[in-house]
A and B are shown apart, each in its own frame.
Chain A
Amino acid sequence: MPLLDVRDLSVVFQRKGTAPVRAVDGVSFTVEPGQTVGLVGESGCGKSVTSLAIMGLLPRRGNKVTGEVLFSDTDLLKLRPRDLRDWRGRDIGMIFQDPLSSLNPVIPLGVQVAEVLERHQGRTRQAALKQARGLLDAVGIPDPARRLKEFPHQLSGGMRQRALIAIALACKPRLLIADEPTTALDVTIQAQILTLLKELVDDSGTALVMITHDLGVVAGLCDTVNVLYAGKVVERAHRHDLFAEPRHPYTHGLLQSVPRLDADRGERLHQIRGSVSDNIPWSEGCAFAPRCDRVIDDCIGDTVPLEPTYRAGALRCTNPVPKEVPV
């Protein structure tokens, strides 16, 4: 039984006087206990909204969430907001993109770690702070006893992200959702944070949903990868299959766009033409068609279904990239 089973999740943003926006459009995927699953796509493809919808963190007004988010057989979308608060932080932890703004500037770091333990494990402030020291130590923050009393502005970006990881993992959740956890960090720090994340989830058996636009992160971390485009999953595959034989032209394009050290000097980096906004509604065919190099007549007309491929993979394409084309 999967730990997390997202079924046909849709999020529609609605504001008075503007056309509704389908940010997430029938996304389904599963996460097994201890597994690491990637959600990949460019800005605006709906990956962050998906994670916020799973956590119930979208603003209460102005949007409509449909589908099912089954977390060990409980539909999180059906829980009352109050009750969902019991799950968040205890069973599902989350780390966010910008560690600089994700910690409260006026509260000592120790309290920010301790409060999640007080909330879910009924610890006293003293006991929670003691435990927090161990947690900060575990995420590689030097001199944790001193750091507990410090404020976020006294810590570097990398330290803050480590602290946020400590907070998210404090109650040993079964699932951790990481929404672009390294985007705001220096490249050297990025690698450290990813290594740390991998160690921590491997050691604790926590499942991880990794949301990223960085295929390098996916390659290093994920077991299964879901590629999102315009709110839908367009390709799902094992990491090895995805990198060896991308089938969807979008995935193929993304992989080609990664700079290579062995490329000739002066060779232009591949780019996917157009931008995410140049798409057609999924109801009228493949949203990627206007930007696709392999577009054929069949791509326009009906919604292209997500067809299963081998090894639990799936593909949403009428004219996929042939298997032998190397990247």
Chain B
Amino acid sequence: MVRIISRRLIQLVVTLLALMTLVFFWLRSLPGGPVDALLGERATPQTRELLTRALGYDQPIWVQYGRFLKNVVTGNFGNSIRTGEPVTDVISRAFPATVELALAAIIIAIGLGVPLGYLAARHRGRLLDNATIIVTLIGISIPIFFLGYLLKDWLTQGVHVFPPSGRISTGLDNTDVTGFFVLDGLLTRELDASADALWHLVLPALTLATIPLAIIIRITRASVLDVLDEDYIRTADAKGLRSPTIRKRHVLRNALLPVVTIIGLQTGALLAGAVLTEKVYNWGGLGTLITDSISGGRDYPVLQALILLAAAVFVVVNLVVDLSYAVIDPRVRVR
């Protein structure tokens, strides 16, 4: 186990290094740049040159790259070009919001997806199964922003069931400890803040969860059907074990293997989906930050840090997935 983890951590470093390089050059190869964005079209050549020098963009590109690498290794991502704040501050403000949203979404997706997929498999070919197949197909196909606005329209405009946007009601005097509002409320015993944050979380999380949920239902269903056909399930039946025992001990664990893999791969989709969902619900997380940083002035330092963060999250989640794989399947442990 230790060997697997250490090998994966080395892989993580290599991946991040390669990605940093790619992102650095990719961003700079795009037309336009922060100088144009900050000064506008009518700036004089003099001011342009001054700003370029001030930002260090007059240096040879490899000097810039070297400085960038050195800064990243020392944990210094520079300041945002747009606001002048340190990048780490900007990101640490937005990060908890997105993590809270993504976690809620994945909890919904797994918590509903696995049981529903299992149920569909057990009712194979019958009404429930067919309905599941159709509904999940819709779930996969429907665009996030469309569903987001639809839910918002139904449940916040006509009937005011849920708040239309934001993470917490304005005017609610909540203490910020970790940036995870639901958790903060619990930590500080401000349960009303927790409840309010949770209430704000419902619609965005549901919106973000639809695609992973539909995929998890389908994978679980297919996987359970596969396992039910396995010889060892027949052996379990021949032992006279009761159905719940067979389900819990013999079917579910084997059926979860493909599901776990999918959950890891869905992390990427979740991050991408967060951009759209956050836009719809004015969430103020990483997704909002990323769109603002691109459209509002090519904020190189923020973008670089954001992309690295996204990659790191993806790699770490998949590391966790691989480890849980090893926990579930003894055959993986040996390798």
The interface of chain A, by Cβ under 8 A from chain B, is 55, 57, 82, 84-90, 93-94, 96, 98, 101-108, 115-116, 119-120, 151, 153, 164, 167-168
Contact = CB atoms under 8 A, between A and B. Distances in A.
Contacts, number: 81
Contacts of B242: 82, 85, 119
B330 A167 contact: no
A88 B239 CA distance: 6
A108 B241 CA distance: 17
Contact of A89 (B234, B240, B249): B240
A151 B329 CA distance: 10
A96 B236 CA distance: 12
B235 interface: yes
Interface of B: 230-232, 234-243, 245, 249-250, 253-254, 328-331, 334
Contacts of B329: 105-106
Contact of B250 (A94, A107, A164, A168): A107
B331 A57 contact: no
A124 B329 CA distance: 25
B245 A115 contact: yes
Contacts of A153: 330-331, 334
A252 to B, nearest CB: 34
B240 A120 contact: yes
A255 B241 CA distance: 40
B330 A151 contact: yes
Nearest to B228: A59
B120 to A, nearest CB: 16
Contacts of B237: 57, 85, 88
Given A96-B231, A151-B330, A104 B254 contact: yes
B330 A105 contact: yes
Nearest to A90: B240
Contacts of A84: 240
B240 to A, nearest CB: 3
A293 B259 CA distance: 57
Given A115-B239, A119-B239, A153-B331, A103 B245 contact: no
Contacts of B241: 85, 89, 115-116, 119
B234 A105 contact: no
23 contacts: A57-B234, A57-B237, A57-B238, A85-B242, A88-B237, A89-B239, A89-B241, A96-B234, A102-B232, A105-B232, A105-B329, A105-B330, A106-B253, A106-B254, A107-B249, A107-B253, A115-B239, A115-B241, A119-B239, A119-B240, A119-B245, A151-B330, A153-B334
Nearest to B238: A94
Contacts of A94: 238
Given A115-B245, A153-B330, A96 B240 contact: no
B181 to A, nearest CB: 39
A164 B235 contact: yes
Nearest to B126: A61
B230 A101 contact: yes
The 10 closest A-B pairs by CB, nearest first: A89-B240, A88-B240, A89-B239, A101-B231, A151-B330, A104-B232, A94-B238, A116-B239, A102-B231, A85-B240
Given A107-B249, A115-B249, A102 B235 contact: yes
Residue picked from B238, B243, B250, B254, most chain A C-beta under 10 Å: B238
B244 to A, nearest CB: 11
Contact of B240 (A107, A116, A151, A164): A116
